[in-house]
Structure 1
Amino acid sequence: MSPAMALNEQRSKDDAEERSQYEKGVKQLCEKGHIHAVPKKYILPVSERPTKSVEDSKVVNQNLQLPIIDFSELLGPNRPQALQSLANACQQYGFFQLVNHCISDDVVRSMIDVSGRFFDLPLEERGQYMTTDMAAPVRCGTSFSQTKDSVLCWRDFLKLLCHPLPDFLPHWPVSPVDFREVVGTYAEETRHLFLVVMEAILEGLGIVQNEEGEEESVVKEFENGSQMMVANFYPRCPEPELTLGIPPHSDYGFLTLLLQDEVEGLQVQYQDKWVTVQPIPNAFVVNVGDHLEIYSNGKYKSVLHRVVVNEVKSRMSVASLHSLPFNCTVKPSPKLVDEANPKRYMDTDFASFLAYVSSRGPNKKDFLESRKLH
């Protein structure tokens, strides 16, 4: 073998070992040895870094006070005012914090706790759920596509398909021992919460039941709809100004209900600036997804958001993403399309989304942009 061939072979081996190491996740990378610097594979181009420089006009250091929606008000005599507040939040921010939501503190705390304990499992146990198959009922991984991404994300995740629960529960991890019970309870309660909030959003959009029974039909589809849970773990980072936990993106689906611990990290793009969302204990951060933007014919906008990391504390969050069944077509509501408001988005489905992100990876709102009728 020539020296050049030997060198190329060694480089290929080194590249394969490096890829293999990254595929094991950020937590494993940090546990392998005390890291004093962010590996180059995680370093973003300068223009994409989450700088906190006061000279950067695109970053606001103060926290953003999102609209607060009191769930109990939606169920009481003040429902009309609560519906208006909800509509304003969806239209002006695309995000709100939901309080007094009837899911017990114990269920919420247990969900964060069991997620943390899952990521504390040895790599051998977590590794059996690692796959590049985006349609898998259980998928443990890191970044988005650790085999294709040019820059990796500083996070590890566990994604679970949740509904119908009896179909997916047997696929879920058996460790920790209480994982299926805790997460199953949380999944069912968040699904019920989504249905009540989504019905209120439909009412706020003026989509009330008519002769054709449109609202009744849509609500029925939501009852059989898709639900995906994503537990995210963001380890401490030695150089948080060089990388991101998750880059700017909007969410697929109608609504996302996000549970986060007390550590700040979520940032929302508001008035063209990045602002940090202050965690409220036991509240959900709820945001409009791409499907709701399409269904509302652009009245409600899915909003770009990202996750920053820090060097002091690790962070845990759990996102519950809800939409219509995977085999359904999403299109603007006929009630929101007329001569003054023509149809602004083409019909879409989950297969189109999977095909798009599998070929390109998620980037900002590119998929939604590809659905727009110009």
Structure 2
Amino acid sequence: MQLINHGIARQSILDMIEAGRKFFELSFEERSKYMSKDVRAPVRYGTSFNQNKDRVFCWRDFLKLDCHPLSDVLPYWPSSPTELRQAAVNYSKETKFLYLMVVGAILESLGLAETTKDIDENDGDDHIIKEFQDGSQLLVVNCYPSCPEPDLTLGIPPHSDYGFLTLLLQDEVTGLQIQHQGRWVTVEPIPNSFVINVGDHLEIFSNGRYRSVLHRVLVNPLRSRISIASLHSLPFGSMVRPSPKLINDANPRRYKDTDFASFIEYIASHEHRSKNFLDSRRLT
């Protein structure tokens, strides 16, 4: 879905897009300072999903900024361009607030809005609101350069996001597609809006009530494209499992417990394609 009237200031959005654009305009020597194979690094510059395993690289560059806790990770973020840190701090705080609002609506839709009240400590849903508040957040600034032969490559191949929810900001250049009823549908950019993508963790948590979104990115022969993904989930040390309140005889448990360590181990040894990680967590 696309979310409008979200309350995030237009200037914060413009500042973040412009700061991201300026980062990718830096020399490769400057950008390459932040290259790392460590997926847990507080800042990482690179391309593709898994540069050790992918047979064909994506037609994109990315800058990933760990955002939690900000006080710990901020010193590691790029100091150039000079406006990047402040723009990313403001943007990450505003998108985190928006994410929590959307999560509240999702919990209500699942009948879990009261999970912080009168729940047995062994139930598994206690304090879930606080877990979301203390959860992980990763900003991914994507740059898709113009491509002379766009039919021969993709910005990102079909995949689902591993987290709970992704709040995606697009610039005015089209490229994002989602799979709907077996066909690819272009998500036309709406100014000052966010695309909300359901991730694998929400599919697991909801025991399949919400389905993660398979999506890909096309490239443009004439124009470069910037997008900013704010990926949110539970804390890195948390176990993601179907909510016990959503499991019964009519709706048996459909997924194994999982955590970030399992995901990192998986992508270290596999190409990240389609919903292959989520498929590895399904119960037959």
Using structure 1 for the length normalisation, give the TM-score.
0.73
1:211/1:372 Cα in 2 relative to 1: closer, same or farther (>3 Å)?
A: same
| Alignment-derived partner of residue 165 in structure 1 | 70
In the TM superposition, residue 201 of structure 1 has moved relative to its aligned partner by 0.6
The answer on 1:232 being equivalent to 2:142 is yes
The answer on 1:296 being equivalent to 2:214 is no
Distance, in Å, in 2 between the alignment partners of 1:241 and 1:304 is 20
| Alignment-derived partner of residue 23 in structure 2 | 118
The answer on 1:352 being equivalent to 2:262 is yes
Distance, in Å, in 1 between the alignment partners of 2:95 and 2:113 is 24
User: Deviations for 1:275-332, whole angstroms, at most 9, x for unmatched residues?
Assistant: 1001000100001000000000001100210000010110000000000000000000
Identity %: 60
* Contact 2:104/2:113, CA 8 A, preserved across alignment: no
| Alignment-derived partner of residue 185 in structure 1 | 90
> Residues 61-72 of structure 1 correspond to what in structure 2 (within 5 A)?
none
* Contact 2:53/2:270, CA 8 A, preserved across alignment: no
Distance, in Å, in 2 between the alignment partners of 1:189 and 1:208 is 22
User: Deviations for 1:93-144, whole angstroms, at most 9, x for unmatched residues?
Assistant: xxx1011111100000111000000000111110100111111111000112
Aligned residue type for 2:159 = H
Distance, in Å, in 2 between the alignment partners of 1:224 and 1:237 is 40
In the TM superposition, residue 208 of structure 1 has moved relative to its aligned partner by 2.5
Distance, in Å, in 1 between the alignment partners of 2:70 and 2:258 is 25
| Alignment-derived partner of residue 11 in structure 2 | 106
> Residues 282-361 of structure 1 correspond to what in structure 2 (within 5 A)?
282-361=192-271
- Could you tell which deviates more after superposition, 361-370 or 265-274? 361-370
May I ask how many residue pairs the two structures share in their alignment? 279
Between structures 1 and 2, the one with greater helix share: 1
Correspondence for 2:57 among 152, 157, 180: 152
* Contact 1:254/1:290, CA 8 A, preserved across alignment: yes
Distance, in Å, in 1 between the alignment partners of 2:279 and 2:53 is 22
| Alignment-derived partner of residue 363 in structure 1 | 273
Correspondence for 1:174 among 72, 79, 91: 79
In the TM superposition, residue 215 of structure 1 has moved relative to its aligned partner by 6.2
The answer on 1:140 being equivalent to 2:45 is yes
The answer on 1:211 being equivalent to 2:118 is yes
Aligned residue type for 1:311 = P
Correspondence for 1:198 among 103, 120, 123: 103
| Alignment-derived partner of residue 151 in structure 2 | 241
Distance, in Å, in 2 between the alignment partners of 1:149 and 1:343 is 32
Which structure 2 segments of 5+ residues have no match?
none
Which contiguous aligned blocks of 4+ residues in structure 1 show a shift greater than 3 angstroms? 213-216
Aligned residue type for 2:119 = E
Distance, in Å, in 1 between the alignment partners of 2:269 and 2:51 is 14
* Contact 2:53/2:268, CA 8 A, preserved across alignment: no
Distance, in Å, in 2 between the alignment partners of 1:215 and 1:145 is 33
Distance, in Å, in 2 between the alignment partners of 1:276 and 1:258 is 14
Which structure 1 segments of 5+ residues have no match?
1-95
In the TM superposition, residue 168 of structure 1 has moved relative to its aligned partner by 0.7
Distance, in Å, in 1 between the alignment partners of 2:106 and 2:126 is 13
